Amino acid sequence: MTFLPIILWTDGVIFALVLIAGLAIRQIRRSPQLRDAWRKVFAKPIGFATFVALGFFGVIGIVDSLHYRPALPAEPGVEKQYSGEVLSALDALLAPLRLNTEKTYSAPLATRLFARETVEFEGGGQARIFPRLVFGGAHLASEDEWVSDVLKRVSVGLLVGGVLTGLLWLSVRRAAMRESPRASSADGLHASASEPEPAWRAAVLTMGALLVVSAVIISLASGYHVFGTDKVGQDVLYLTIKSVRTALVIGTLTTLVMLPFAVALGILAGYLGGWVDDAIQYLYTVLNSIPGVLLIAAAVLMMQVVIDTHPEWFSTAAERADARLLALCVILGVTSWTGLCRLLRGETLKLRELEYVQAARAFGVGTVTILHRHVLPNVMHIVVISLVMDFSGLVLAEAVLSYVGIGVDPNTISFGTMINAARMELARDPMVWWSLVAAFVVMFLLVLAANLFADVVRDVFDPRRV
């Protein structure tokens, strides 16, 4: 084989999440109540549009989770060996961006380095100039062609993106007509009113915008560094795309870690009351009284000591960095369950006094059965809303923690490490701004999509909202 497949801990978690999502979709399709609720979510243009945007980021994260170790060049009489560097399928797709590194900083779409250097001429003498880049704009015979070349590449990207958007629209329209022929019948208006149709127009427009932007960036990236390069000459576009997986892992895995603590303890405290309620309240009150950053920092530092004292556990640097990322997710989940627990406790206090719960008690139904059949289904709307809304907060938390040095491993590419590296770049004269802006824009789009989607989910699943 030309490569050796590698499954990191977070890769296994992501694949498990994809499987769970498939099972959840299957359950939603079987349940009329859940199917109608999610149909209302996708019937709203903002809901479907933000779902498409989150799905776009999710595909990037999944592709970046297919890791492998490339094979080293074969030597006669030597068993095949593999490189110690762990790459992903996304690295293979972005190989030109990953390998075409410059000497140091260069501005977006630039053809020369950002800083002057002393260059000696062949005929003698020297001067301080801005040297030409090795890869960025190297295809240009003259720098006077830069404007026309950039415009041509942008036009090609717009054309390709527009064609793909048109094909997508025709495919969706044909599929919608085939699956819903009632729309052209006499009672089509009544059927659409009683059972809302998904907002396909908003979804296609969002996907079309993503395709157009992606096509333009791909067209420009084949000849330039679209977002410039950093201090060591790495392409900032490559670093930004690679940061998406870290943000998704932090946001999704941490919410799943906190879910069992919050749901189990919150429901038990609200339903059983007494000393159980007092003990659980005391536990999350103590956790809330400790400054969150200090608690997380102490846990991360202790975990780092464990990792440093057991180097034999990890065969590659990627596995070591992945272990710290997984540990950070667990630590954030264990320390962030108190808010949801408090909400579920309050809701359960109300539910246990309702007639159907009192009737179940009177007929001798067991506590576990009551919690499973009557209490848990009626608090799931709070769980869904909290999980979706906490996702964006956890993505921002990783950026803040990495900025102060207690986040992911320095070898892990993330929005936090990019922002932390840009801290010193802002003090340069002239200022190097593109690394910070690129990380901020992509992280802003991811968090904005999650927040808007959470608003739609809240409006649909919250029974107190009309």
Contact by Cβ (8 Å): 4, 71: yes
Mean residue pLDDT of the chain comes to 83
Residue 371 has pLDDT above 50, yes or no: yes
Q: What is the pLDDT, as a whole number, of residue 416? A: 80
Mean local confidence (pLDDT), 132-153: 88
b/e map 78-106, b = 16+ CB within 10 Å: eeeebeeebbbebbeebeebbebbbeebb
Q: What is the Cα–Cα distance from 221 to 223, expressed in whole angstroms?
A: 5
Residue 32 has pLDDT above 60, yes or no: yes
Q: What is the Cα–Cα distance from 248 to 391, expressed in whole angstroms?
A: 9
Residue 282 has pLDDT above 80, yes or no: yes
Q: Which domain holds residue 439?
A: 236-461
Higher pLDDT, 212 or 314: 212
Contact by Cβ (8 Å): 328, 407: yes
Contact by Cβ (8 Å): 344, 379: yes
Sheet holding 87-88, edge to edge: 3-6, 67-70, 87-88
Count of the separate structural domains present in the chain: 1
| CA 150, 151, 154, 155 torsion-angle sign | negative
CATH classification of the domain holding 449: 1.10.3720.10
Distance of CA 21 to the CA centre of its chain: 15
Residue 211 in domain: no
The answer to which of 78-92, 98-112, 221-235, 384-398 has the lowest mean pLDDT is 384-398
Provide the 8-state DSSP code for 69.
Answer: E
Residue 346 in domain: yes
Q: Which pTM value belongs to this model?
A: 0.83
Full DSSP string of 220-281? HHTTS-TT-B-TT--BHHHHHHHHHHHHHHHHHHHHHHHHHHHHHHHHHHHHH-HHHHHHHH
pLDDT band at 1 (very low <50, low <70, confident <90, very high): low
> What are the backbone dihedrals phi and psi of residue 67, each rounded to the nearest 5 degrees, phi first?
-95, 155
Residue range 123-141, pLDDT digits in tens:
667 777 888 888 888 888 8
Q: What is the Cα–Cα distance from 226 to 219, expressed in whole angstroms?
A: 10
The answer to which of 107-111, 306-310, 342-346, 356-360 has the lowest mean pLDDT is 306-310
Mean local confidence (pLDDT), 109-125: 78
Higher pLDDT, 385 or 69: 69
Residue 51 in domain: no
Helix, strand, or coil (residue 68):
strand
Q: What is the Cα–Cα distance from 244 to 235, expressed in whole angstroms?
A: 15
Contact by Cβ (8 Å): 229, 101: yes
Full DSSP string of 132-174? BPSSTTTT-SSGGGHHHHHHHHHHHHHHHHHHHHHHHHHHHHH
> What are the backbone dihedrals phi and psi of residue 6, each rounded to the nearest 5 degrees, phi first?
-130, 135
Residue 199 has pLDDT above 90, yes or no: no
Q: Burial, 283: exposed, middle or buried (Cβ in 10 Å; 0-12, 13-18, 19+)?
A: middle
Percent of the chain with pLDDT over 90: 16
Mean local confidence (pLDDT), 318-327: 84
3-state secondary structure 9-57: HHHHHHHHHHHHHHHHHHHHHHCHHHHHHHHHHHHCHHHHHHHHHHHHH
Q: What is the pLDDT, as a whole number, of residue 144? A: 85
Residue 183 has pLDDT above 60, yes or no: no
Residue 149 in domain: no
Residue 276 in domain: yes
Full DSSP string of 426-437? TTSSS---HHHH
| AA identity, residue 443 | M
Mean local confidence (pLDDT), 194-218: 86
Cis preceding-peptide flag for 430 (omega within 30 of 0): yes
Residue 123 in domain: no
Residue 441 in domain: yes
Mean local confidence (pLDDT), 267-291: 86
Residue 188 has pLDDT above 60, yes or no: no
> What are the backbone dihedrals phi and psi of residue 8, each rounded to the nearest 5 degrees, phi first?
-80, 165
- Tokens representing 348 are 């359960």
User: What contacts 206, CB < 8 A, 6 or more positions away?
Assistant: 48, 49, 50, 52, 53
- Tokens representing 192 are 């659409």
Higher pLDDT, 228 or 466: 228
Q: What is the pLDDT, as a whole number, of residue 463? A: 59
Residue 108 in domain: no
Instruction: Provide the pairing of β-strand 67-70 with 126-129.
Output: unpaired
Residue range 450-460, pLDDT digits in tens:
888 888 887 78
Higher pLDDT, 178 or 108: 108
Q: What is the Cα–Cα distance from 11 to 8, expressed in whole angstroms?
A: 5
- Long-range own/partner contacts, residues 8-12 (CB < 8 A, 24 or more apart): 8/65, 8/67, 8/86, 8/318, 8/319, 8/322, 9/322, 9/323, 9/326, 10/65, 10/249, 10/253, 10/322, 10/325, 10/326, 10/329, 11/65, 11/66, 11/67
Residue range 38-86, pLDDT digits in tens:
888 888 999 899 999 999 999 999 999 999 888 887 777 677 787 788 8
Mean local confidence (pLDDT), 367-374: 83
Q: What is the pLDDT, as a whole number, of residue 180? A: 58
Residue 381 has pLDDT above 80, yes or no: no
Mean local confidence (pLDDT), 365-376: 83
- Tokens representing 347 are 């809701």
First to last CA, the chain: 59
Residue range 411-459, pLDDT digits in tens:
888 888 888 778 777 777 778 888 889 988 998 898 888 888 888 887 7
